[in-house]
Structure 1
Amino acid sequence: MTDKIPTTEVDSKPQKQYIDLYAGSNKIYTRKVKGFYQRLRRYTGIPLLLGFLLLPWFNIEGRQAVLFDLPERKFHILWTTFWPQDFMLLAWLLIIAAFALFTVTVLVGRVWCGFTCPQTVWTLMYIWAEDKCEGDRNARIKLDKAPWSFEKIRKKASKHGLWLLIAFVTGFTFIGYFYGARDLIVDLFTFNAHPAGVFWVFFFTAATYGNAGFLREQVCKYMCPYARFQSVMYDRDTMLVTYDEARGETRGKRKAREDYKSKGLGDCIDCGWCVQVCPVDIDIRDGLQYECIDCGLCVDACDSVMDRMKYPRGLIRFTTQDALETGETHVLRPRFIGYVAAVVLMVGLFAYTIGTRTPLGVDVIRDRGAKLFRETPEYIENVYMVKINNMGRGESYFSVNVQADETGSVPSDYRMKKKYRAYLEEGEIFSLPVSVRIDRDKLEASKSTIYFVVEAEDDATVHAIQKASFIGPSKN
């Protein structure tokens, strides 16, 4: 007898299935906590915040200390003025900042995100406003669930009013770095501000209000690229917030001073405080997660619970994977040493470049409207166009000379047709036609190298040297 294969009736019409590609997130109600890392976040965030708010109001040499004057293409930073020609320095500075961030991440994880990132600092201010206007975590949850009433409207309005005030101050200060803070406050409140300035003030006000008030952890989870590639820089000796699973498991409720170990329980009482204080709404007990910003709030929360239970602190703590498993940590490892060496080298080169930077730009090109050279029975002459860019912080007279070598130590047979000098105001670019001559009997080759020297007459330290070619008749 042959066994029959069982059959199943199949619907000829496939059923439609809908997949939701967007999963909405629940509102996070963070619990207020006190502790070392909470204080550290305050002490690192406040100086940065004060620097951002106050720096536009300081003047140096009659100018705003930091002013990015886009219409004039001048970028005043403390005692130095930079120009579009200096954008390579900006690129260099960004590369240094990136390598410094990598170095810190290899050593101590995402502490930049948890303590000094602007997203974190502004979110902390908004959470503080929530706490002042609506109460603590439980009060906020209860208020949101309550029906609308005069008291609820009052608390919500005061919170959003404070949010908008913080956002406006932020937007105003940021645009003040480009518009000029003193000019902006006068023009804005006398209704004389340029429409573009007004637009950008209110644009950044709205952006800050939405970003710190509503997006919050969504920025860290989905918008910030740093969260996505941080794991590439982690290794077993990177400091990060970690839950000691061997000590904490098995979790369970218990009374203080109860002999919980005889019941097979670990030190974790499963109170949930580490989740309630987390600004990105994760459970650190589930292991390392890319959303974690290493803010340390769960460490403070857990330590406070351990103190109440009379247990040792450190169930959740900053540590490394190696330290957790073997008790040893290796700080000086090849990757970290490589990053440190790269940062030190780049910072040194950058500082040297800034320190030796001359606020004078010189470019020499041959005059296209003239012949390669002009000859007479007595001399050979070349005509050049010398472009002088005064990048200093004041006007000055500049003289142009020519020499045979870069140092000027070799006596030069080349001479100017006449004395050339030009008056340039700050930021002015001036093109000056210059003729250079040499006696026929002193010309040694059909092509030789000469050096133009442009120097400020009121300050000999402000000078620039530019190489050019002098062309004469063939010696064959």
Structure 2
Amino acid sequence: MVKLTTNEAAKTPSVVDDLYEEADDWQVNTGGETIHAKRIPGRWRTFKWLMSSVWLVFFLGPYLRWDGHQAVLFDIPNRQYHIFSTTILPQDFWMLSLLLLFFAILLAVLTALAGRVWCGYFCFQTVWTDVFTLIEEKLEGPPAARRKLDQSPMSARKLRIKAIKHLIWILIGFFTGFSFVAWFTDAPQLWLSFVTGTANGAAYTTVALFTAGTYVLAGFLREQTCFWLCPYARIQGVMLDKTTVVPTYDEKRGEPRGRVKRGGEEAGRASGDCVDCNQCVAVCPTGVDIRRGQQEGCITCALCLDACDQVMDKVGRPRGLIRYASLDEMEGHPTRPMLLRPRVWVYSTILILALAGILYGLTSLAPVELKVLHERAPLFVLQSDGSIQNRYTLKILNKTPDLVSFSISASGHHDLVLTGADEAVAAEPGGVTGTTVFVRIPERALESEQQPITFHIEGTRASGAPLKAERESVFIGPRP
């Protein structure tokens, strides 16, 4: 039997009794009532906030400017996607497939190594629910006070508190929807048109849907979204194995459980470290009891680790009764190093290939592209002066947001004459501009049936930056 020292016992009775008293009000949620999770500080709570803060980019990103334009803008009507100085058009969408593959495999890797860390630290549903419940606690008080307020009859005080809370929730939902739309149109202009009532109907509809969705999902459904609406909770089981590190209760150390009484005595003949305070359940945002093993509701947020460590500190027992650990570790089996796991190597290889493809695509993107189509009927025409003429259609893809005038030239033969390119071609921003040119070479100067030639285009952006592109083609003449 584990006993507390005199000094420990003197410090812990009231604390432990208070924990038990509070824990009596807690039970695992089955969907019939609202979970009011207890919020306590700790290293995992701090880590959770740090990871959640990446969503600030979602709200602040649309207001970042670059070269006089919105730094990141997904201009769907014009089929242009501007990422700082890079413009991506539909022709480059093969990179989107690699990007989706990269994040899908990354999610699989994280799940295989550390369980549902996406759900616990990054998922927008988890983050928004956490923010909503924080506001709820600030206005209504700790869990016991919130439950009491919910059960009390309507009064002026209750109406005022509830009205303020729901108004803040709706405002968060509104800014969520507005921020989403701002990624697809110029943010400052969107504010002006939205307030004056001149914005596109799709913008109002999208903001309204996001406002309602955020309000309902994060304010009311909360953990039920993870239980019943999210498919990831169900498919995660095939991604885990005995080496996956997840929040785990050390049953060998914790059982049998026993409550600590005043004076350091324990109820019954318990000898385990678990004092059955239920604080791990009290802080769980989905209401699961980690001591029953891995469950669908566990989102790997590790808040139960903070709660258990604090209780262990108060009763003078070692931390780590609930900790990140693998099943192999808990069963006493030798743990396999991460680099020796075949699945890690397979996932990592796919990640590296996908990332390499994305980086290659981004670095090889040019602000202007030139394509040359050779006329096929006829392949060539014999002119009256004895020269051979070929016809070409040049297509200029201008990926910049500026109207650019391009001059056209050709090289590849010292007797080459280019006609139809006397005037510069004005290429529309974000589109393809076509023009037709002719190339003549004296028949006597042709050395073979096919002569390689190269077309060049040159222009200047509004900012003064030069634009160049070239494309190789072929000049066809009669067989010598």
Same fold (TM over 0.5): yes
Q: Point out where structure 2 has 5 or more consecutive residues left out of the alignment.
A: 1-29
In the TM superposition, what is the alpha-carbon distance from 1:440 to its structure 2 partner?
1.9
Letter in 2 for 1:355: T
CA contact (8 A) 1:67 1:76 kept: yes
In the TM superposition, what is the alpha-carbon distance from 1:52 to its structure 2 partner?
1.8
Paired residues for 1:225-240 under 5 Å: 225-240=231-246
Q: 1:245 aligned to 2:217?
A: no
CA distance 1:182–1:461, shift in 2 (3 Å): closer
In the TM superposition, what is the alpha-carbon distance from 1:419 to its structure 2 partner?
4.0
- C-alpha deviations, 1:412-434, integer Å up to 9, x for none? 66542354541224324211101
- C-alpha deviations, 1:373-427, integer Å up to 9, x for none? 21136222221211111112433332333445xxxxxx66654235454122432
Q: 1:36 aligned to 2:43?
A: yes
CA contact (8 A) 1:257 1:310 kept: no
Higher relative contact order (CA 8 A, sep 6+): 2
1:383 to 377, 391, 399: 391
Between 1:411-420 and 1:436-445, the stretch displaced more is 411-420
Q: 1:358 aligned to 2:366?
A: yes
1:301 to 301, 307, 310: 307
- C-alpha deviations, 1:101-145, integer Å up to 9, x for none? 222222222212211221111111101111012111111111112
Query: Any idea what SS the aligned residue of 2:170 has?
Result: helix
TM-score under structure 2 length normalisation: 0.85
1:26: which partner in 2? 33
2:156: which partner in 1? 150
CA contact (8 A) 2:460 2:466 kept: no
Q: 1:426 aligned to 2:429?
A: yes
Letter in 2 for 1:438: I
2:26: which partner in 1? none
1:416 to 392, 415, 418: 418
In the TM superposition, what is the alpha-carbon distance from 1:183 to its structure 2 partner?
1.4
CA distance 1:430–1:319, shift in 2 (3 Å): same
Name the CA distance, whole Å, in 1 between partners of 2:223 and 2:451: 65
Paired residues for 1:224-303 under 5 Å: 224-255=230-261, 258=264, 263-303=269-309
1:83: which partner in 2? 89
1:463: which partner in 2? 468
Name the CA distance, whole Å, in 2 between partners of 1:138 and 1:262: 29
Query: Any idea what SS the aligned residue of 2:147 has?
Result: helix
1:436: which partner in 2? 439
Letter in 2 for 1:336: V
1:15: which partner in 2? none
Letter in 2 for 1:396: V
CA distance 1:247–1:293, shift in 2 (3 Å): same
CA distance 1:327–1:297, shift in 2 (3 Å): farther
Between 1:104-113 and 1:309-318, the stretch displaced more is 104-113
Q: 1:97 aligned to 2:99?
A: no
1:190: which partner in 2? 196
1:318 to 317, 321, 324: 324
1:338: which partner in 2? 346
Query: Any idea what SS the aligned residue of 1:37 has?
Result: helix
Name the CA distance, whole Å, in 1 between partners of 2:206 and 2:197: 15
2:181: which partner in 1? 175
Root-mean-square deviation (CA), in Å? 2.6
Q: 1:135 aligned to 2:138?
A: no
Name the CA distance, whole Å, in 2 between partners of 1:115 and 1:256: 38
In the TM superposition, what is the alpha-carbon distance from 1:159 to its structure 2 partner?
1.2
CA contact (8 A) 2:258 2:268 kept: no
Query: Any idea what SS the aligned residue of 2:81 has?
Result: strand
CA distance 1:84–1:375, shift in 2 (3 Å): same
CA distance 1:401–1:99, shift in 2 (3 Å): farther
Letter in 1 for 2:471: Q
Name the CA distance, whole Å, in 2 between partners of 1:192 and 1:37: 46
Query: Any idea what SS the aligned residue of 2:105 has?
Result: helix
Query: Any idea what SS the aligned residue of 1:312 has?
Result: coil
CA distance 1:98–1:153, shift in 2 (3 Å): same
1:392: which partner in 2? 400
Between 1:439-448 and 1:51-60, the stretch displaced more is 439-448
In the TM superposition, what is the alpha-carbon distance from 1:454 to its structure 2 partner?
3.2
CA contact (8 A) 1:399 1:455 kept: yes
Letter in 2 for 1:85: Q
Name the CA distance, whole Å, in 1 between partners of 2:269 and 2:133: 40
Name the CA distance, whole Å, in 1 between partners of 2:177 and 2:202: 13
In the TM superposition, what is the alpha-carbon distance from 1:153 to its structure 2 partner?
1.6
CA distance 1:263–1:24, shift in 2 (3 Å): closer
Name the CA distance, whole Å, in 2 between partners of 1:380 and 1:460: 37
Name the CA distance, whole Å, in 1 between partners of 2:267 and 2:343: 41
TM-score under structure 1 length normalisation: 0.85
